[in-house]
Amino acid sequence: MSDILEKTEAIVKKGKALGADEVLATTVFGRYRQTRFSNNQIDITTAWNDYVTDLTLSWNKRLVATQIRNFQNSAKIAEQLFKLAKVSKENPNYGGIASGKFTYSKPTADRKLQELENPSQYVFEAVEAAQKEAGSEVKAGGILFSKYEDVYLVSSEGPVGRDARSAVELSIRAFSQIDASGHGVECCSSLGNFKPSRAGEKAGKIARMAKNPKQAKEGKYDIIFDPLFFGSMLSTWAQMVSAYSIMIKLSVFVDKLGQKVAPEAVTLRDKPAEYSVNNRIFDDEGFPIQENLFIERGILKTYLHNTSTAKIFKTNTTGNAGLVQPQPWSIEMDAGHLSKDQLFDEMKNGLYLTNTWYTRFQNYATGDFSTIPRDGIFLIENGEIKQSWKDLRLSDNILKLMGNIAGISKERQQVHWWLEADPPSLSPYVLVKDIQMTRPK
Amino acid sequence: MEKDIVNFALDYAQSKAVDYAEARAQNTKHEEIVVKNGILDAYVSTVDSGLCVRILAEGGLGFASTNKLSKDEVRAIVDMAYKSAKLARRQDEIAFAEEKGVKIKWDVEQKKKIEDVSPEEKIDELMGVDKSLATQEIKIPGRISVCEIDMAEKYFVNSEGSEISSFLPKIAAFAFITVVENGKPEQAFKQFGRSGGWEAFEEWKMTETLLHEANVLQRLIKEGKSVKPGKMDLVCGTEVTGIASHESCGHPIEADRILGREMSQAGRSFIYQGGPYWIGSQIGSDIVTIVDDPTVKNSYGYYKYDDEGIGARRRFLYKNGKIHEFLHNRETAAKLGTRSNGSSRSTNYDREAIVRMASTFLLPGDWTEEEIIADVKHGIYMKSFTEWNIDDRRFNQRYVGREAYMIENGELTTQVTRPTIETSTKTWWSTVDAISKKIDFDAATCGKGDPMQGIPVYTGGPVIRLKEVYVK
C-alpha cells in the first residue's frame, strides 16, 4: 500500500474511532496546466497543483463533509467534522454508501500528461491549421488544458481503490471577420491520439464559410446540429436524468420512466470509458463505474443514482455518486446509419448550426428554453450551404427537440467545451425537424 | 495566514529576471448547507488555503498555484510560472499600466459575527424557510435552498512594494421552487447575497420573498393570460433593469473582451477598435447612466482593493447615453493607454485575476414607479424574469417575464404569462424614457473565465420604461 493510501486510510480509521457510522476519504493529487491564447498569441500559461482529501462521514443519518489539504491537521479536522455531524439534523433519505469489496479495471492514464513538455507547440499547431483554412488574417483564441490526477479512495464500508485520470483538450475559436467565426475542439484522454490541428482546421473551415453573414430569418426549420452544438443538448439531457434533478423537478423526465421520449433511433448512455476526458474506474462512493443506457431505442430506462437515491427509487446504484447528487460522467449517443454527407444531401431546406451558448430555461419541468447559436449559422438548400447567417436564437422545447430527431450520423466526435458542453460527450451530427428560431426586433 | 511563505514566494520570484512579480494567498472558510424538500441533505464545512504567483518576464505571463505551503513546493511553482512566461514568445509584449505600491489592511464589519452563530442556528434558519413554504396551501412539491458562507482572508504582495491584507466575509442563499396547480408546474429561482455578517440572513426576508414568488406562480397558472404580440410600452422592474445593465452594459464594457482576450469562451463585444461603437458613441437615451461600483456598502460584489492591489472606485460605463469608460485591469489599461480602474478579480488563490464587474446598476431618475405606470396607455409591467440570454457580442438579448402584468390606461390589470422581449442593446437603452427615483439590488453570480470563475456581484437599478418596443 502506498504512503498516500495509508494516510487516506488513517483518516478513515480516525473517523470510525470517533464514532462515525460510515467514513469515506478520497485523496486527489492533481496537476492541471492550461495555456490561454487569443489573437494568435499566448496570453498566459497557468499551472495549479492541488493536494486535497475529501472527507465525508455519517452519524445517525447525518451527512457532513470537509476537505483536508496536503494531510495537514487531519485528525483535528476529522474531530471537528464529527462534532458538526452531532449537531446536524437527521436526513431520513440518507441510504448509506456503497459497501463491499470491488474489483476495478486498471487505470489507463497517460503519464506524459503529468507535465507537458512544451504546451505552446500544440497551440501554434492549431492556430496554423486555422490560418491554413481561413487565411493568415484569421484571429484565433482558446485554451489548451491538460490534467493528471492520482486518486486514492478508502471507505469504511469496504471499497479501497486507486485511479489515475488524465485528459488533454484544445478548444479553438477562429475569427475570419468580427462577425464570422468557427469553433473546433480536440478532446482526448491521452497524448497519443491528440491532434490539435484537427480542431484548428475545423474552426478555420467554419470561419471561412461564415464570412459576410446576412441577417437571419425567423421561422421553423429543419436543423442539422454539429457534434459541438449537440454536445450541449446531450449534457442538458444527461443532467436531467440525475435522480437529484428528478427529486427537485429540474427535469423534463419526472415520472417518465419506461415511457417513449424519443424516436427509436435514439440511444443514450453514460460511459466514462478510458477514452473519455472524464474517465474513471469508480464513482465517489468507490462503486465501480458501469455503462448505463438511460435512453434505449427512445425509451427512458433509468435515472442516474448513488446509493441513497437508488434506495428512494427502490433500485440499485448506477455508479454515478456524487455523495449528495448523482451526476453523469460522459455521454454517448449511439451512431446512426447515415453518413454526415448523406444527412446534408437529403436536406432540401434548413439550417446547419455549428455551436451554441447560454442555454437557459423558462421551466425545467416543461422544457421550454432558448439557446443562442454562435459561430457558423448556415442556410442549406438542396444539400448545399447557400448562405451564412447571424443573429438567430433557438427558442423551443428541449423534449420536443429530442422527439423530433430524424437523422443521426455514423460519424461521432468527443466534445467538451467550457460549461456549454459539459459533461463531455461522444456526439454525432443530428438532424432535427421543425424547430422554432427567433431573432431580435 | 502564513505571510512568511508568501513573502518568500515573492522574494524567490524577484531573484529571477522578472519585469513584475506578485504573490497572492487566500484562506477561505467555507460552509454550505443544503435543504431539499424539508430535509437537510448535507452540511459541508471546509478551509481552503494556498497561494499563487504571477510573473511577467520577456513580455509573457506565467501563473502557478499550490496548496502545499512548503519552500520546496513554492520554489517549484515560481520556477514553473517563470518558465511559462518566457515560453510565451509573444510578438507584442504584455505590459502593465503603471501603479505605485500600496500598503494597507481592510476588512468588512460584521454586525452579527458569522463565527458566533452555531451550525444548529444556521440549519434552523434555513429549514425554517423551507418549513414555511411546505406548510402553505399552495402546492410546492419541489424545493431546494442552499446557504453558502465564505470568509476570505487574503494577503497580496508585489514587486512594486504593495502589501495588502484583507478580510471579506460574505453570505449567500439560493432557492429554487416548483409550484404545481391543476397538474401544471411553474418555477422560480431567487438568489440572495451580501458582504458582512449573519445579520444579512435576517434582512433578506427569504420566507416572505419566496412565499410571494409561490403566490405569483400559482396565479400565473390559474389566471395568466398570454400576450398579444406587438409594439407597446414595457415597464421593467428593478430585477429586469439589473440583469439588462449587467448583460448589455457591464459585460460589453470589459476591456479584455474588447481586446479579444475572451474570444473563445465568454466572447467578444459589440465595442471593438475600428468598429461602429467606441468611447463617446451613443448607445442609449440621454437619461441612461450606468455605473459599476465595488464600493457599494455591504454589496455582494464589494471590495476595497482588487486582486492586483488597485483601489476600487465607481466607474461610469454608459454616461448620459454614451459609452464612457471600460472596465480595466493593468494589462488592458496598458494596451489602451490608460490606468487600471481596479476591476481585476479572482475567485480563489488558484485562479488568475481577470476583468470583472462588481455592482452594476442604472442610476435613478425622477419618476415614481406609480407615475411611470400611470403614464402608460397600453403595455406590460415585467417585474421579474425567468429565461434570459444574450449573444457573445452582447448585442442580441432576450428576457422572459416571470411576474408580469398588462397595463391598460395607466392601471395594472391581468397577470400575463411569459411576455418576451428579444431586442438589441441599442434598441433597449435608446428607448428608455422614464426612470424611477427608487433603486434596488439583486445578488447574482457572474460567470466568466476558463476555468469558470463564478464571482459575486450585485445587479440593480430603478424601474424603467421602454417606449414602444416589440413584446410577444
* Predicted local confidence at residue A118, as pLDDT: 83
**What single DSSP character describes residue B248?**
I
Is residue A425 classed as helix, strand or coil in its secondary structure?
Answer: strand
Pick among A362, A366, A439 to test the B interface (most B CBs inside 10 A): A362
Q: What is the pLDDT of residues B191-238, one digit of tens each?
A: 999 999 999 998 999 999 999 999 999 999 999 999 999 999 999 999
Q: What is the pLDDT of residues A41-73, one digit of tens each?
A: 999 999 999 999 999 999 999 999 999 998 999
Q: How far is A391 from chain B (nearest CA, A)?
A: 7
Give the DSSP H/E element, type plus range, for residue A142. strand A139-155
For chain A, helix (H) and strand (E) counts, in that order, are 9, 18
Q: How far is A22 from chain B (nearest CA, A)?
A: 14
End-to-end CA distance of chain B: 55
Cell of B68: 502545499
* Inter-chain touch A46–B77, beta carbons under 8 Å: no
* Inter-chain touch B387–A250, beta carbons under 8 Å: no
Nearest CA in chain A to B36: A248
A105 contact B CB<8A: no
CA atoms lying within 13 Å on the CB side of residue A212 = 2
Q: Angle formed by the axes of helices B119-134 and A74-87, to 10°?
A: 40
Cell of B401: 417575464
Mean pLDDT score, A398-418: 97
* Inter-chain touch B267–A374, beta carbons under 8 Å: yes
* Inter-chain touch B88–A45, beta carbons under 8 Å: yes
From residue A408, alpha-carbon distances to A275, B434, B464 in Å are: 22, 51, 47
Q: How far is A411 from chain B (nearest CA, A)?
A: 25
* Inter-chain touch A393–B46, beta carbons under 8 Å: no
Statement: residue A433 has pLDDT above 60: yes
* Inter-chain touch B275–A63, beta carbons under 8 Å: no
Please report the domains of chain B, with CATH numbers, ordered by start residue.
Answer: 3-223 (3.30.2290.10), 230-471 (no CATH)
Q: Residue A232: which pLDDT band, with cuts at 50, 70 and 90?
A: very high
Nearest CA in chain A to B35: A91
ipTM of the modeled complex: 0.96
- Phi then psi for residue B31, to 5 deg, are -130, 145
Is residue B380 classed as helix, strand or coil in its secondary structure?
Answer: strand
* Inter-chain touch B386–A372, beta carbons under 8 Å: no
Size of interface A-B (CB pairs under 8 A): 243
- Give the bridge partners for B457, in sequence order: B444
Cell of A274: 478510458
Statement: residue A1 has pLDDT above 60: no
DSSP conformation letters of A304-317: B--HHHHHHTTS--
A6 contact B CB<8A: no
* Inter-chain touch B119–A359, beta carbons under 8 Å: no
Q: Angle formed by the axes of helices A3-18 and A74-87, to 10°?
A: 40
Using CB atoms, pick whichever of A363, A438, A440 lies closest to residue B186: A363
Is residue A353 classed as helix, strand or coil in its secondary structure?
Answer: strand
Let me know: does B118 contact B203? Beta carbons within 8 Å.
Answer: no
Q: What is the pLDDT of residues A104-161, one digit of tens each?
A: 999 999 999 998 878 899 999 999 999 999 999 999 999 999 999 999 999 999 999 9
Let me know: does B313 contact B295? Beta carbons within 8 Å.
Answer: yes
Single-letter code of the amino acid located at A424? P
Is the domain spanning A3-207 CATH 3.30.2290.10? The answer is: yes
* Inter-chain touch A248–B91, beta carbons under 8 Å: no
- Of the candidates A266, A231, A196, A290, the residue with the CA atom closest to the CA atom of residue A427: A231
A363 contact B CB<8A: yes
Cell of B119: 451550525
Statement: residue A439 has pLDDT above 90: yes
Using CB atoms, pick whichever of B52, B185, B262 lies closest to residue A366: B185
Q: How far is B201 from chain A (nearest CA, A)?
A: 19
- Give the bridge partners for A380, in sequence order: A350, A385
* Inter-chain touch A87–B68, beta carbons under 8 Å: no
Contacts of B423 in chain A (CB under 8 A): 440-441
Q: How far is B396 from chain A (nearest CA, A)?
A: 6
**What Rg, from alpha-carbon coordinates, does chain A have?**
23
* Inter-chain touch B84–A47, beta carbons under 8 Å: yes
* Separation CA B142–CA A174 (nearest Å): 43
* Inter-chain touch A173–B264, beta carbons under 8 Å: yes
* Predicted local confidence at residue B136, as pLDDT: 86
Q: How far is A62 from chain B (nearest CA, A)?
A: 7
Pick among B389, B397, B469 to test the A interface (most A CBs inside 10 A): B389
* Inter-chain touch A70–B68, beta carbons under 8 Å: yes
- Of the candidates A432, A66, A318, the residue with the CA atom closest to the CA atom of residue B119: A66
* Inter-chain touch A39–B397, beta carbons under 8 Å: no
Contacts of A228 in chain B (CB under 8 A): none
A118 contact B CB<8A: yes
Let me know: does A113 contact A181? Beta carbons within 8 Å.
Answer: no
Is residue A368 classed as helix, strand or coil in its secondary structure?
Answer: strand
Using CB atoms, pick whichever of B39, B176, B352 lies closest to residue A92: B39
Nearest CA in chain A to B400: A362
Q: Residue A159: is the preceding peptide bond cis (ω within 30°)?
A: no
Let me know: does A212 contact A176? Beta carbons within 8 Å.
Answer: no
* Predicted local confidence at residue B420, as pLDDT: 98
Q: Domain boundaries in chain A?
A: 3-207, 213-441
- Of the candidates A323, A306, A288, A330, the residue with the CA atom closest to the CA atom of residue A242: A306
End-to-end CA distance of chain A: 66
A236 contact B CB<8A: no
* Predicted local confidence at residue A250, as pLDDT: 96
* Inter-chain touch B264–A142, beta carbons under 8 Å: yes
Contacts of A48 in chain B (CB under 8 A): 52, 64-66, 350
Residues in contact with B342: Cβ distance below 8 Å, sequence separation at least 6, in sequence order: B294, B305, B306, B308, B310, B311, B312, B313
Contacts of A173 in chain B (CB under 8 A): 263-264
Single-letter code of the amino acid located at B28? T
Contacts of A247 in chain B (CB under 8 A): 36-37, 142
* Predicted local confidence at residue A2, as pLDDT: 84
- Tell me what the pLDDT averaged over chain A comes to: 97
Mean pLDDT score, A240-256: 97
* Inter-chain touch B387–A360, beta carbons under 8 Å: yes
* Positions in chain B whose pLDDT score sits under 70: none
